[in-house]
Amino acid sequence: MMKIAAISDIHGNLAALEAVLADIKRHAPDLIVNLGDSLSGPLFPAECADFLLSLDIPTIKGNHERQLLTLPIDEMGESDRYAMSCLEMHHLRWIEHTPTTLLIDREIQLVHGTPESDLGYFLETVEHQAVRKANPLEVHDRADGVSVPLILCGHTHIPRSVSLADGRLVVNPGSVGLPAYENDRPFPHKMQTGSPHARYALVKKRNGSWSAELNSVIYNWENAAKLAESRGRADWAKALRTGLV
C-alpha cells in the first residue's frame, strides 16, 4: 500500500501547519505534498516559508504565490501585501522556482485550482445564486487532458473527493490554515467549512486503486484569531474561530 498526505492553502498559519504535520506523522505516509497558497495572510508568512523550506517536500505555486511574484504592491490584496512585507529575497527565490503543476511518478498530478487555472474551482461550481458541488460531467471536463489516476487540487479550501466513471480520483484536502473566505469571481460567493479545524487528506493506493480519507485537526485557533485581530483582520479572526464568513 502507498500513502500520500496532501496539504494545501496553509496561508501562513504556522500553528495549524504544525498540528497537521504532527497528525500526519502518526500515519507514516510515503510522501507529503503541498498544493500551494502557503504563505499569504496576516499570521506567519516568513516563518511558514522557512518551515516549508526545511521540509523540502514537493510543492506547487498557488494563485497567491503567482500574485506575490507578478502584482505591484498597490494592486495586491491585504493578505499578499502583508506577506510581501515579511518575506525575504530567499523566500521569493524559492517561490519563483516552485512549479505551477507537478506530475509525480507518472501517476499523481498536483494542481492548485484546475489543470487550466490556479483560480479555477475543480469540485465546486459558482453560480449567481450560490456555490454548489460540481456534477460528475463538470469534474470530468475540468480533468480533460489529465490521464493519471490521481489528481490532487486545492484553492477552494473545501475538503472533498470525487471518483470519476473512468476510475480517476480527484481530491481536495481542504485548507490547513483558513477554513472560510469570500470571493467575488465569477460571482460574489462564500466558501466556508463551518468549523475551525485544520484540514488535510490521506490518500491511499491499495490493489491498484486510490481512495481518500479527509481529516480534520484541532489546534489553537483562538490564538491565531487574536493575532489576526491584532493585525486588523477581523474577517480572518471570524473565519479562524468559526469556519464561517
- Which domains, from first to last, does the chain contain? 2-242 (3.60.21.10)
pLDDT the model gives residue 10: 99
Q: Which three cell numbers stand for residue 34?
A: 503541498
Residue linked to cell 493578505: 79
pLDDT the model gives residue 206: 96
Distances 16 to 48, 82, 117, 200, 224 between C-alpha atoms, Å? 10, 19, 26, 11, 9
For 19, counting Cβ atoms within 10 Å of its Cβ (0-12 exposed, 13-18 middle, 19+ buried), the class is buried
Per residue of the chain (245 residues), what is the pLDDT tens digit? 899 999 999 999 999 999 999 999 999 999 999 999 999 999 999 999 999 999 999 999 999 999 999 999 999 999 999 999 999 999 999 999 999 999 999 999 999 999 999 999 999 999 998 999 999 999 999 999 999 999 999 999 999 999 999 999 999 999 999 999 999 999 999 999 999 999 999 999 999 999 999 999 999 999 999 999 999 999 999 999 999 99
pLDDT the model gives residue 75: 97
Pairing of strands 131-133, 102-104: unpaired
The 10 Å Cβ neighbour count of residue 229 is: 16
pLDDT the model gives residue 108: 98
pLDDT the model gives residue 129: 85
Q: Whole-structure pTM over 0.95, yes or no?
A: yes
